[in-house]
Amino acid sequence: MKKLTFLLLQFLIVFSGFAQEAKKYTSVNLNLREDSNTSSNVISVIPKGTAVTMAQDCDCVWILVSYQGRVGYVYSKYLTTNQPAQTQVRQRSVKHYTNSAGERIQSPTYYNSAPEGATALCRDGTYSFSSSRRGTCSHHGGVAKWL
């Protein structure tokens, strides 16, 4: 309870409309963490090229950011001021495959946020629509997060 109160207080202070509010982009699929260390719980995985909001730009190792209504810490090394070129305007070529049960399934595809029907976020930033866990994201670096 104490940690939750502290985090809410940080959110109110940090994101209460300071003029120094900044936006940066993730350069990799980045873990949003509860606390400023690699041992803390992962709240969410932010896909590569996604914009995050922070109260101010600093030379900090860990930065408190807001992403899709969640507040947490990210490692600043993986933030950039420029959106990575490959995610700015990506033509979405939606492909499909037939799974072992004979069902036609959409192949993993890049999206800025989880689309309807997605079952997993792959480590390369694509969203999988697999109906079984076996083999999900196998050609995309494995599963980063189950949805």
Q: What is the pLDDT of residue 21?
A: 66
Question: Residues of the chain with pLDDT > 70: what percent?
Answer: 79
Confidence of residue 112 (pLDDT cuts 50, 70, 90): confident
Q: What is the pLDDT of residue 87?
A: 42
Q: What is the pLDDT of residue 13?
A: 46
Q: Which two tokens stand for residue 77?
A: 């090394």
Domain ranges of the chain: 2-83, 90-147
Question: Is there a contact between 46 and 30 (Cβ–Cβ < 8 Å)?
Answer: yes
Q: What is the pLDDT of residue 2?
A: 53
CA distance 96 to 108: 9
Question: Residues of the chain with pLDDT > 90: what percent?
Answer: 16
Confidence of residue 14 (pLDDT cuts 50, 70, 90): very low
Beta strands in 1-147 (DSSP E): 22-26, 30-33, 42-46, 51-54, 62-67, 70-75, 79-80, 96-98, 104-106, 109-110, 120-122, 126-128, 143-146
pLDDT over 80 at 73, yes or no? yes
Between residues 116 and 13, which one has the greater pLDDT?
A: 116
Q: In angstroms, what CA-CA distances link 67 with 11, 15, 53, 94?
A: 12, 12, 7, 26
Q: What is the pLDDT of residue 82?
A: 81
pLDDT digits (tens, 9 = 90+) for 38-54: 899 888 888 888 888 88
Between residues 13 and 115, which one has the greater pLDDT?
A: 115
CATH number 3.40.50.11270 is the correct assignment for the domain at 2-83: no
Closest by Cα among 58, 73, 55, 62 to 16 = 55
Question: Is there a contact between 96 and 90 (Cβ–Cβ < 8 Å)?
Answer: no
Mean pLDDT to the nearest integer, 132-141:
89
